[in-house]
């Protein structure tokens, strides 16, 4: 079988509809292809011409001396199927269809798209697109893309691969990154992904020896399991995978939907998967490419704390502000570093950020080089951020900084240049490009890049999840909505502690049963029709004695029948009022793409206020669950706090792990034809002091598409 490696490194290309007319797509594409000196054979197909730009043309695909490895076309939609059929029959291995209005424009287009794919598949031909911008492979000097961005003197080759679900963005980013001296191995616009899809191209880049960093613009994932597998393979291959994903917000999702009819999926679930697999998500595609350039220049370098070297105290101050608010630390220089700087800088200036303006003397030769070397030599420094402002000597000074970073004492550590000047810094930018040194033009860009680089650097691969000892795989107890008692019974069978309760039908029954439970007591309404009990006055805490209990049952009866008259009341649940120092939410759900997920976060009323939750793929290993809990905003409350001891973190982690296995089992039963969807929520899980455990005091579940 033909591998993608062969498909994307074709030895011959046929251009259907080639022309010299630059107002036509086929003319622009053909001219661009010739311009970049592709080394393979080019077969222009045009029945009306003998030759085009000096190259012999062929009247049809059947007339070419051999079957082309690749064909490219931007024919009117109605002619695509016929042409693909002919190319496939001729033995073409791959085709790029630029033409749009297929599945991107409704049911009729989708049907035609499927016919086109079937026509290709009948002869084993693979397709890119339709509705795509094509392919740019600087490593092969192969351009099958008509974007005006390609109208450049020569392509820049670099080990960065880029796969884009938006054609316009691919052209735009190529254009913009070209201006910054950023090159590529291969760029592919995937279009409608009728045949070959995002994951195919990611796999190609993982295997491509001329690609070191993978970048991607993603609107939706078609093959979630393969996506996860590829993330692991990219990691194993030592190739960072960076991604910009549209659809983080509701508004963004709507826009993505109306664009290529791809499902944006659940952003939180994808984020959880990416966090687990160290696929780095970024907001801005240009920053993604800038980070890729930096990672290519400094492979496998970890970045946490930064030294700022600046030509302006003001620039240093703003830089420090922006880094700090993004969680990036300023390296705390060691005494030896301060002493070394103090030889050249005024008192109080020999620290991080280093303001070159604080120099003792204008006459010190190569102060920039010395400073750069000293700052990078400090073990606390992971990277030097060079913040350049407009000054008479920007180019020379930038060169000095770069020279210093290459001195042996600097240890080859990464640098990133923030070139704030405009025109004045052009020669300096040129020098940086020539030396392959990463730069950006604004502090915001520098900060975004460092934040993503730090996140990638701090990744810890998860352990293999271990099912808790003695926890048997669970079966879903049928489908439907499950109330508190049923949900808790089921959670208890998974080994999650729940509080004891008694179900009663009336005030009299309640008083009679109360001694089995004990005061202070909690009273809750039991109804399959009431999901949010407290919204209708269906929860009363801290009931002190029989007299109060009787009164509360009666009041609750009256209020619920007033506020939820349609609800079937099954009775009242009496529960021991459980103590706890903190309330958490622990939940699980099935993501339609990535399957079982477990969630932990602030519980009680804080859920909606804080949105302080961690989402993790299920099942989860204990160490990862612990890290997720400890990264919550409310994590400080789990430690010793205001006079009380630390809380039972182990028990929290155990509950999260058990619920994650429960979710995993449900997911498995779904695969065996069981529940097709589910959500389970414990809220609150009360957390006690260390050694005293946790207890679920309320829960509910939905299994199946109820």
Smaller CB separation from a copy of itself, 539 or 689: 539
What is the C-alpha separation between 72 and 61, in angstroms, rounded?
11
The residue (of 250 and 554) whose beta carbon lies closer to a copy of itself is 250
Pair 45, 14: CB distance under 8 Å: yes
Q: Shortest distance, CB of residue 604 to a copy of itself, whole angstroms?
A: 10
Give the number of other Cβ atoms within 10 Å of residue 325's Cβ. 9
Residue 9 CB, shortest distance to a copy of itself, in Å, is 25
Q: Which is nearer to a copy of itself, 127 or 354 (CB)?
A: 354
Closest by CA to 84, choosing from 39, 115, 63, is: 115
Minimum distance, C-beta of residue 390 to a copy of itself, in the bound complex (Å):
4
**DSSP sequence for 347-393:** TT-SSSSEEGGGBS-TT-TTHHHHHHHHHHHSTT-SEEEEEE---TT
In the sheet that 213-218 helps form, which strands lie side by side, from edge to edge? 142-144, 135-137, 184-189, 157-164, 213-218, 241-245, 279-282
Minimum CB separation of residue 517 from a copy of itself in Å reads: 18
650 contact partners, CB below 8 Å, separation of at least 6: 690
For tokens 């913009």, the residue is: 176
CB of 423 to a copy of itself, least distance (A): 6
Closest contact distance (angstroms) between CB of 414 and a copy of itself is 20
Backbone φ and ψ of 16, nearest 5°: -75, 125
Q: Minimum distance from CB of 224 to a copy of itself (Å)?
A: 20
Nearer to a copy of itself, 198 or 496 (CB): 198
* Residue 318 vs 486, nearer CB to a copy of itself: 318
Which burial class, exposed, middle or buried, applies to 238 when counting CB atoms under 10 A from its CB (0-12, 13-18, 19+)? exposed
Query: Whose Cβ is closer to a copy of itself: residue 222's or residue 407's?
Result: 222
CB closer to a copy of itself, 237 vs 391: 391
Cβ 234 to a copy of itself shortest distance, Å: 22
Tokens of 449: 């890049």
Write down the least CB distance from residue 555 to a copy of itself, Å.
Answer: 13
Structure tokens at 110: 């989708």
Closest distance of CB 432 from a copy of itself, Å = 17
Cβ proximity to a copy of itself, 125 vs 308, nearer residue = 308
- In the complex, least distance from residue 351 CB atom to a copy of itself, rounded to whole angstroms: 7
| Encoded tokens for 180 | 């910054």
- Residue 364 has a CB neighbour count (10 Å cut-off) of 14
Q: How far is the CB of 563 from a copy of itself (least distance, A)?
A: 8
The nearest distance, CB 639 to a copy of itself, in angstroms, is 12
Task: Sort strands 539-543 and 595-602 into parallel, antiparallel or unpaired.
Answer: unpaired
CA distance 195 to 200: 10
- Per DSSP, 149 falls in state G
Looking at the Cβ atoms of 93 and 429, the one nearer to a copy of itself is 429
Q: How far is the CB of 169 from a copy of itself (least distance, A)?
A: 4
What is the C-alpha end-to-end distance of the chain, expressed in Å? 45
Q: Would you say 97 or 659 has its CB closer to a copy of itself?
A: 97
CA 288, 292, 298, 301 dihedral sign is positive
- DSSP label at 92? -
Residue number, 416 or 662, with CB nearest to a copy of itself: 416
Among 505, 448, 439, 495, CA closest to 470: 495
Would residue 15 be called left, alpha or beta, if left means φ above 0 and alpha means ψ between -120 and 50 degrees?
A: beta
Residue number, 170 or 620, with CB nearest to a copy of itself: 170
Whether 463 and 623 have beta carbons less than 8 Å apart is answered as: yes
By beta-carbon proximity to a copy of itself, the closer residue of 3 and 442 is 442
Q: Are 17 and 74 in contact (CB under 8 A)?
A: yes
Task: Extract long-range pairs of 63-69: CB within 8 Å, 24+ residues apart.
Answer: 64/14, 64/90, 66/12, 67/91, 67/92, 67/93, 68/10, 68/12, 68/13, 68/14, 68/41, 68/43, 68/92, 68/93, 69/6, 69/7, 69/10, 69/11, 69/12, 69/13, 69/40, 69/93, 69/94
Nearer to a copy of itself, 82 or 611 (CB): 611
């Amino acid at each position: 079988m033909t591998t993608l490696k062969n498909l994307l490194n074709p030895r011959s290309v046929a251009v259907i509809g080639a022309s010299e007319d630059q107002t036509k797509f086929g003319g622009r594409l053909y001219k661009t292809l010739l311009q970049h000196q592709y080394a393979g054979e080019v077969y222009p197909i045009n029945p009306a011409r003998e030759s085009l730009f000096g190259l012999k043309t062929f009247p049809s695909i059947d007339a070419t001396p051999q079957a082309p490895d690749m064909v490219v076309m931007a024919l009117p939609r109605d002619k695509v199927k016929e042409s693909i059929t002919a190319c496939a029959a001729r033995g073409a291995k791959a085709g790029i269809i630029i033409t749009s209005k297929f599945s991107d424009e409704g049911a009729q287009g989708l049907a035609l798209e499927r016919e086109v794919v079937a026509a290709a598949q009948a002869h084993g031909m693979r397709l890119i697109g339709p509705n795509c911008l094509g392919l740019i492979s600087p490593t092969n000097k192969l351009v099958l893309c008509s974007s005006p961005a390609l109208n450049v003197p020569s392509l820049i080759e670099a080990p960065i691969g880029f796969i884009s679900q938006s054609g316009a963005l691919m052209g735009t980013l190529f254009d913009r990154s070209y201006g910054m001296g950023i090159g590529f191995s291969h760029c592919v616009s995937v279009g409608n992904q009728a045949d070959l899809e995002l994951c195919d191209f990611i796999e190609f880049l993982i295997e491509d020896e001329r690609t070191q960093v993978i970048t991607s613009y993603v609107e939706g994932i078609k093959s979630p399991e393969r996506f996860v597998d590829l993330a692991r393979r990219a990691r194993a291959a030592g190739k960072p995978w960076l991604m910009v994903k549209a659809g983080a917000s509701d508004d963004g999702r709507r826009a993505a939907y109306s664009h290529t009819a791809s499902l944006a999926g659940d952003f939180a679930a994808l984020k959880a998967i990416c966090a687990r697999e160290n696929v780095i998500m970024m907001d801005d595609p240009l920053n993604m490419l800038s980070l890729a350039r930096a990672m290519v220049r400094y492979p496998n370098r970890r970045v946490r704390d930064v030294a700022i070297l600046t030509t302006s105290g003001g620039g240093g101050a703003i830089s420090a502000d922006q880094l700090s608010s993004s969680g990036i630390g300023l390296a705390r220089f060691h005494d030896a570093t301060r002493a070394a700087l103090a030889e050249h800088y005024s008192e109080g200036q020999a620290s991080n950020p280093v303001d070159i303006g604080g120099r003792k003397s204008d006459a010190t030769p190569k102060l920039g080089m010395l400073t750069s070397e000293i700052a990078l030599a400090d073990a606390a420094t992971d990277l030097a951020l060079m913040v350049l402002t407009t000054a008479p000597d920007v180019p020379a000074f930038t060169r000095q900084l770069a020279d210093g970073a290459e001195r042996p004492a600097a240890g080859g550590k990464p640098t990133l240049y923030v070139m704030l000047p405009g025109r004045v810094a052009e020669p300096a930018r040129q020098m940086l490009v020539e030396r392959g040194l990463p730069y950006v033009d604004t502090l915001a860009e520098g900060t975004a890049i460092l934040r993503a680089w730090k996140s990638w650097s701090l990744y810890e691969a998860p352990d293999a999840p271990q099912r808790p000892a003695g926890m048997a795989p669970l079966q879903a107890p049928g489908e439907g909505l499950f109330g508190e008692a049923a949900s808790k019974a089921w959670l208890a069978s998974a080994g999650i502690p729940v509080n004891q309760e008694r179900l009663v039908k009336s005030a009299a029954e309640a008083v009679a049963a109360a001694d089995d439970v004990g005061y202070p007591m909690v009273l809750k309404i039991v109804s399959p029709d009431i999901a949010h009990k407290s919204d209708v006055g269906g929860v009363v805490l801290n009931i002190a004695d029989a007299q109060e209990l009787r009164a509360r049952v009666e009041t609750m009866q009256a209020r619920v029948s007033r506020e939820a008259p349609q609800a079937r009341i099954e009775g009242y649940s009496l529960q021991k009022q459980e103590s706890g120092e903190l309330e958490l939410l622990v939940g699980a759900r099935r993501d339609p793409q990535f399957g079982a997920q477990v969630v932990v976060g602030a519980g009680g009323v804080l859920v909606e206020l804080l949105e302080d939750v961690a989402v993790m793929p299920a099942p989860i290993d204990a160490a990862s669950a612990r890290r997720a809990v400890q990264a919550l905003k409310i994590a400080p409350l789990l430690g010793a706090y205001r006079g009380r001891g630390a809380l039972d973190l182990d028990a929290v982690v155990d509950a999260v792990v058990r619920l994650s296995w429960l979710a995993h089992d449900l997911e498995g039963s779904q695969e065996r034809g069981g529940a097709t969807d589910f959500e389970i929520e414990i809220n609150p899980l009360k957390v006690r002091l260390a050694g005293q455990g946790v207890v679920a005091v309320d829960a509910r579940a939905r299994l199946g598409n109820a």
